[in-house]
Amino acid sequence: MALPKTRILVADDERNIRKNLALVLEAVGHTVDEAKDGDEALDLCKQNHPDIAFVDLHMPKMEGLKVLAHIRALSPKTAVVIITAYGSAANAIEAMKLGAVDFLEKPFDPKIIGILTEEILIGQHSKSKTSFDDLMHLADLARQRNALIEARSYLKSAMAHAPERPEPYYWLGDLCEAEGDQKRAVQYYYMAVSAYHTYEPAVEALKRLGKLH
């Protein structure tokens, strides 16, 4: 699928993270604005209405979840990804309920940003027109044909539709585990259990990985 170039906001008080993300995104043709704190992030959001915003959870002047809430009001079409060095299922679920489309835990491979951006752009085309069940079905079909970026985008759209449902988190974890990213798989499995404490597939996955007893 040919996707349009986008305007992206990167808000993080760590200069190296801002610069690394900007380099990765600009290398594939996206326009990037950088903000070093919450106030600057909101000013740039008001001016430019970015398609996607990567927002650090802990920043000077305004915390990331507050920035997220303001962005949702100022620029409802902006997809927000929360970046955190303090990753937890509770923080991630709270971010999803406030309207984030995903989260990243530091440290992360900058290469994942390009993939995540593509997933979000695909998802933006599907989210508004499709029900939760339809998105889960589309994700299943994409998995069957090994179209993993599309599968993740549909699952994340389903997650945005119904952040209280455990199924998208579980299947995102399953995809991450299949790709060898056990750390991120465990995060998603924990999110599934946080959404629904007795969701058996996620509980069993965490037990299998030695994270629950």
Please check the confidence at residue 150 and state whether its pLDDT lies above 90. no
- CATH value of 1-127 in 3.40.50.2300, 3.30.460.80, 3.40.309.10, 2.60.34.10: 3.40.50.2300
The overall average pLDDT reported for the chain is: 88
Q: Cα-Cα-Cα-Cα dihedral of 17, 55, 154, 48, to 10°?
A: -100
Please check the confidence at residue 93 and state whether its pLDDT lies above 90. no
Please check the confidence at residue 45 and state whether its pLDDT lies above 80. yes
Residue 32 has what DSSP assignment?
A: E
Site of tokens 């599934």: 192
Identify the band that residue 127 occupies on the pLDDT scale cut at 50, 70 and 90: low
- CATH value of 130-213 in 3.40.50.2300, 1.10.340.30, 1.25.40.10, 3.40.50.150: 1.25.40.10
Identify the band that residue 85 occupies on the pLDDT scale cut at 50, 70 and 90: confident
What lies within 8 Å, CB to CB, of 117 at 6+ separation is 6, 8, 25, 30, 52
Please check the confidence at residue 88 and state whether its pLDDT lies above 70. no
The DSSP bridge pattern shows strands 31-35 and 102-105 to be unpaired
CATH 3.40.50.2300 domain position(s) in the chain:
1-127
DSSP 99-142: T--EEEESS--THHHHHHHHHHHHHHHHGGGS-HHHHHHHHHHH
CATH 1.25.40.10 domain position(s) in the chain:
130-213
pLDDT at 35: 96
Please check the confidence at residue 192 and state whether its pLDDT lies above 70. yes
The arithmetic mean of pLDDT across residues 126-133, rounded, is 74
The arithmetic mean of pLDDT across residues 124-140, rounded, is 80
Please check the confidence at residue 10 and state whether its pLDDT lies above 80. yes
